[in-house]
Amino acid sequence: MSNLEQVPAEQDCRTLPCLDELQILEPRPVPLGGPRAMTVFRTLPQKQRSLIGAWCFLDHYGPDDVARTGGMRVPRHPHTGLQTVSWLFTGAIEHLDSAGFSATVRPGEVNLMTAGQGISHSEFLSEDTTVLHGAQLWIALPDRARFMPPTFENYRPEPLHGPGYSLRVFLGTLGAQGHSSTSPVQTHTEVSGAELWLEPDTELNIDVPVHHEHGVLVDAGTPQVQGQPLAHRELGFIPAGAGSLHLRAGAEPVRALLIGGEPLNEQILMWWNFVGRTHEEVIAYRAQWQAEIGAEPGTLHGEQFGPFPPDTPAPLPAPVLPTVRLRPRPNPGDQR
Ligand code: MN
C-alpha cells in the first residue's frame, strides 16, 4: 500500500503533516553541560515528532565565539543502539572512543560513530578553534543491527555542483538535475544526509525516494521549502510521498542540512545517551556504565563501554533515573 493511500482524506493539517506540506519543528535551546555551557538548539526529538526516517536526534549550534561560550567540552560518555553523526561548518572537534579510534572532525567531513552494543567517547573542541558551528545528529539502529560491534568512519564527500547550488551528500544518495551523489558510509536502514548551499534567488528540486520522509534544517538564509517559509534553526518535516524537495532561496544565500530515510517503524526508547527498546534494557545499560567508571557499585558484565585511554578527563556519570518507568517514544505525527 502506498503512503498516499494511508493518509486520510479529511486530515487535519493544523496538527498533522499533510502531503506536500511542511510540518515546522521549532528549535529549543539546551545548555550542553558545565558552568560555561554552550547552548545547542534541539529540533529532534520533540513532542510533535520523535523520528525522521531513523534520525532520532538533531542539535544545531553556533557560530559561537568559543572564548565566550567555552565551546564543546564533553568528557567520556557512553552510547548504545545508535550512530552519531557530526557535521561541522566551522571549527574542529577532537574525537576519542573506546573502539580505538581518534579523529579530528573538520568542516565538510562526516564522522559517523556506530555505538552498536556499546561505546564510549569524548568530544573536545580543538586547541586552534576560535569559532564553532555545526550539528550533531543521531541515527537509531534498527533492531536487527543494534547489537553490532562499535565502529567509526570518516568521509569527505565531493560536492555536486550545478547552477546556483552545491550539494555535499554525506550519507545515502541524493541528486538534482540529473546528477546524483552516493556516500559509501554504511547505514543499517535507508538514510540520507547532505549539506545544501543555494545562491540568492535560485531554486532547486532535489530528487528523493518517494517512500522516504525528510527534514530540512536551516543554518543560514530564509528558504521556501515546498512553497512554505522556513526560519533559521527550524526543521521542516516533509512526509513520505513527496518524490522531490523544492527549495528556493530569497535575497540571501541558503545553507541547510537535509536528512531523510525510510520510516523506522520501530518504537525506540531514548534515555540520556542510550537508545534501547525497554525500560529494563536501559536500566541495565546505566548500571553497567556506572559500574565500569566506578561511580556506583554493581556487577560488571564484561567491558561494554571500554577500554579508554588513561590520563583523559574524568568520565560523565549517568543522571539519576526518574522514579517512573521509562516508556518508548510515541510518534504522534507519524501516520503509520
Ligand atoms: Mn556522544
pLDDT digits (tens, 9 = 90+) for 150-163: 999 999 999 999 99
DSSP notation for 194-256: EEEEE-TT-EEEEE--TT-EEEEEEEES--EETTEE--TT-EEEE-TT-SEEEEE--SS-EEE
Q: Distance between CA 216 and CA 236 in Å, rounded?
A: 5
We report the CATH number of the domain holding residue 197 as: 2.60.120.10
Contacts for 35-40: CB closer than 8 Å, 24+ residues apart: 36/69, 36/70, 37/69, 37/70, 38/64, 38/66, 38/69, 38/70, 38/71, 38/72, 38/132, 39/69, 40/136
Claim to verify: residue 231 and residue 127 sit in the same structural domain: no
Q: How far does residue 114's CA lie from ligand 1's centre (Å)?
A: 11
Pair type for strands 203-207 and 110-114: unpaired
Last residue of a domain, which of 239, 266, 293? 266
How sure is the predictor about 266, in pLDDT bands with cuts at 50, 70 and 90? very high
Separation CA 323–CA 336 (nearest Å): 31
Ligand 1 centroid – CA 183 distance (Å)? 22
Between the CA of 229 and the centroid of ligand 1 the distance, in Å, is 32
Distance from Cα 70 to the centre of ligand 1, integer Å: 18
* Separation of alpha carbons 177 and 244, rounded Å: 11
In this structure, is residue 285 part of a structural domain? no
Question: The domain containing residue 256 runs over which residues?
Answer: 158-266
Please report which helix (H) or strand (E) contains residue 102, including its range: strand 102-105
Please give the model's pTM, rounded to 2 decimal places: 0.92
Residue with cell 577532537: 94
| DSSP secondary structure letter of residue 15 | T
Give the range among 54-58, 138-142, 246-250, 324-328 with minimum mean pLDDT.
324-328
Q: Give the percent of the chain with pLDDT over 70.
A: 91
Specify whether 105 is located in the same domain as 185.
no
Candidates 310, 230, 232; CA nearest to 61 is 232
Assess whether 166 and 238 both reside in one domain.
yes
Question: What pLDDT, in 10s, does the model give residues 121-148?
Answer: 999 999 999 999 999 999 999 999 999 9
In total, how many domains does the chain have? Answer: 2
